[in-house]
Amino acid sequence: MNTLFLAAIIMGAYLIAYFTYGKFLGKKIFHIAADNVCPSHELQDDIDFIPTNKHILFGHHFTSIAGLGPIVGPAVAIIWGWVPAVLWVLFGSIFFGAVHDFGALVVSLRHQGRSIGDLSADIINPRVRSLFLLIIFLFLLILIAVFALVIAILFTMYPQAVIPVWVEVPIAVWLGYMVYKKNCSHVTLGIIAVILMYLFVGVGAYVPVDLQMFGLSDGNVLIVWMIILFVYAYIASTLPVQTLLQPRDYINSHQLFIALALLLAGVLIAQPEIVAPAYNASPVGAPPMWPYLFVIIACGAISGFHSLVSSGTSSKQCYSETDARFIGYGSMLMEGTLSALVIVSVAGGIGLGLTTGDGEILTGHAAFSHHYASWAAASGLGAKIGAFVTGAANMIEACGIPANITMTIMGVFIVSFAATSLDTATRLQRYIVGELATAYKLPWLARRHPATLIAVLSAFVLAFYNGSGKGAMILWPLFGTVNQLLASMALLVITIYLLKQRSSIIFTAIPMFFMIIMTGWAMILGLQNFYHDQNWLLFVISSMVFVLEIWMIIEAILYFKKKINS
């Protein structure tokens, strides 16, 4: 199949879904109303709660939920064939992920901008809140520690991205100052900010920064970068949201549109044929497609992390309830678009040319088969990112852009999105610590700096407990299932909320049951593998998470039973 035709079908479907299904959900299911007062107005403190233009907030929300998820998931899952990957990204985004993100945002807007975990105390009962918040804390702990490592690795993989990524910070601070203090146009200044950043992309392409030039070993380079990133995450997550987080994410959203435009132009000009198999039932060394496809492709279809962003930062900044569909439902479809283009890049673009380790250049089916020779070959971070970057660069080069500039653009794009997820996750962890502290009557711990200190130090300890910075990787096998567990639990809370509002629950209940089944199935298989490998740490932690999930489901069933009998 021609990749241009495939991309057109997917993007057309998303556009139709936004103006039909998304509109239906907002009007008939969630009953969006412009006269409902949002937390950004009610609780405005100009630190976390601030009324924000919907286009700026869209930029923050989208770049926060995206990260590396919509890239690495599809880049691995395509080993089972491009058809299963496309179907899950297409229908998962429309009927699962966008509903989940939209619903979490609306419910939080109507509960003072509290996280989906904290407000579950009001919707179900306080016991569920404690269970949910503990799962969220564990999830964010792993995410912060691992993403600090991932970004450090990306800086070593793409040293040309170092200068433009760090220069973006002062540019973002300047943008936030001019928009909020000087009341300048965010559109005009946003364009200027992006132009400035891309000037430094050109600088980075010719002046790569590798810390090894200062005499550091590979291991010490990672450690230095991680320490810098943890310090940055602390500062960024305690600053007022309009100082750095919002404007930087707004710039990154422009990066996304530029990258999407370049990819689409590449598809239009190069029009590579799909060289990946349509369906591959038994890849060498791969786990079963069911249920792992629905765990590995998370952010491109449905991801529990999104509910934390919707109910953590975005609900505190949403100007009007009528903006929720654009921000919640629309951002998820945009992320689905990115995942679809990743699939196109890997399934087609990689066939335009792949240079092997010994310098041989492969094209067509041979290129894809070489990269995806086995599960082990395709599942490493370098392989995941490399498949996308190679395929995307091949297509973009068809537009006449030099290879070194193309590689820098894609490197900056990837690192910027990963960095956004890092400091957003740190800010979210601060909120979770604060909500736990408030629930257990420890108000001093809920303050901004003590809560952030716990968020950062806990991740730092996890990362460096073995001295290498890679300590969190021991828990990484739990990340995918815990992430999708969060999605199913968020859908559970949203469904019960709709039940209490006497609204139809079928549109959230179906994806909820599906995700509970897929996640539970994946967790059971994971437990079997941990037991077989005698990996007792992961076995115990995974068992505890699984028990917490079952406990939450039982609590929900009891609530449903009580509601029906009343």
List, as one string, the DSSP characters of 346-393: HHTGGGG-EE-TTS-EE-HHHHHHHHTSSHHHHHSHHHHHHHHHHHHH
**What is the structure's pLDDT at 353?**
79
**What is the structure's pLDDT at 556?**
78
* Residue 27, C-beta contacts closer than 8 angstroms, at least 6 positions apart: none
| Residue 106 and residue 328 in contact, taking contact as beta carbons nearer than 8 Å | yes
Number of helices (H), then strands (E), in the chain = 25, 2
pTM (2 decimals)? 0.91
**Runs of H (alpha helix) within 239-285:** 245-270
**What is the structure's pLDDT at 254?**
86
How do residues 166-213 score in pLDDT, each as one tens digit? 999 999 999 999 999 988 888 899 999 999 988 998 898 889 988 888
Report the interhelical angle of 126-157 vs 218-238 (nearest 10°): 130
380 pLDDT band (50/70/90 cuts)?
low
| Residue 316 and residue 40 in contact, taking contact as beta carbons nearer than 8 Å | yes
Average pLDDT, the chain: 89
How many other C-beta atoms lie within 10 A of the C-beta of residue 471?
A: 19
- The count of domains in the chain is 1
**What is the structure's pLDDT at 335?**
93
- Flag whether pLDDT at 1 surpasses 70: no
CATH at 55: 1.20.1740.10
% of the chain residues with pLDDT over 70: 98
225 pLDDT band (50/70/90 cuts)?
very high
Q: Give the C-alpha separation, 331 to 157, whole Å.
A: 29
Length of the chain: 566
**Domain of residue 263, residue span:** 3-565
How do residues 477-509 score in pLDDT, each as one tens digit? 888 888 999 999 999 999 999 998 989 999 999
| Residue 56 and residue 341 in contact, taking contact as beta carbons nearer than 8 Å | no
What phi, psi does 283 have (nearest 5°)?
Answer: -65, 150
Q: Give the C-alpha separation, 309 to 323, whole Å.
A: 15
